Amino acid sequence: MIATIILLSPLAAAPAFAQETPVPGSQAEAYWDKNEFKASQDALKKEHGGGTNYMILADRFEYQSGEGSPALLLEGQGWWGTDENRLWIKSEIDYDLDAGSFEETELQALWSRPVARYFDLQAGVRHDFEPGPSRTYAVAGIQGLAPYWFEVDGAVFLSEEGDLSARFEAEYEFLLTQRLVLQPRTELNFAAEDVPELETGAGLSTAELGLRLRYEFDRQFAPYVGVNWQASTGETAGFVRARGGDTETLSFVTGIRLWF
């Protein structure tokens, strides 16, 4: 009986050298060549989130007609990179059809990195070609998906002249059906001080509200119709009135949303 207990005891059965043998980080490392194993691990990471991807989105490509001058608007963004590090390009172009000139042309180049499950921290540069005088800004912001599925994008801008401003955008998608989507959207712009040469006043300078109804023939191709309201406020409205412009405009819009 004593002999049987000794044979069945794990401590007695374990070889004397077992405690001195190093345990590898992975059992596969004990059978595969070190370099081949690393190559297979790198390939696995690339196929499961570590690869390089891209996306291009024309969120608003539309014709605006109403109280103000008819205009063509293109607002788009795109990114290239991995899940951890991405290059974001954002652009907004507003072309006045009556005047035959660009009212607004903006381009941003940003580095983006996730700081939470649904939010990315972004930093980079922005250059405004129009309205003149053209200026370059340093940019710091955050973009992501807030609770209850609100898409938000906020940023602060510091120009080469020392002007500080900020922008906040938010939108939401109501799925009326699997293909019919109602999208409210808002954009608020703020300035820390008056910038007369850009017709910008301190505080809330401009506000924009829009409502668009789109039909997704394909998830990547969706025509839409809607309305868009824009207003200049405070000192900004005073600058606009001084040159004979409209401080508020309500426009009917029609356009296409594309991504690939």
pLDDT tens readout for residues 80-124: 998 889 999 999 999 999 889 999 999 999 999 999 999 999 999
Residue 92 sits in the same domain as residue 202: yes
Residue 154 sits in the same domain as residue 193: yes
Question: H helices then E strands: how many in the chain?
Answer: 4, 13
The pLDDT score that the predictor gives to residue 137 is 98
Among 194, 207, 198, 196, smallest CA distance to 233 is for 207
pTM: 0.82
Amino acid symbol at 6: I
- Residues 151-160, mean pLDDT to the nearest whole number: 98
For residues 182 and 174, is the Cβ–Cβ distance under 8 A? yes
Question: Greatest CA separation found in the chain?
Answer: 108
For residues 247 and 241, is the Cβ–Cβ distance under 8 A? yes
pLDDT in tens, 191-228: 999 999 999 999 999 999 999 999 999 989 999 999 99
- Residues 250-255, mean pLDDT to the nearest whole number: 96
What domain count does the chain have?
A: 2
Backbone φ/ψ region at 203: left (φ over 0), alpha (ψ -120 to 50), beta: left
Residue 96 sits in the same domain as residue 127: yes
Q: For residues 154 and 140, give the distance between their C-alpha atoms in angstroms, rounded to a whole number.
A: 9
**Local confidence band at 49 (pLDDT 50, 70, 90 cut-offs):** low
Asked if pLDDT for residue 234 goes beyond 80, the answer is yes
Residue 149 sits in the same domain as residue 24: no
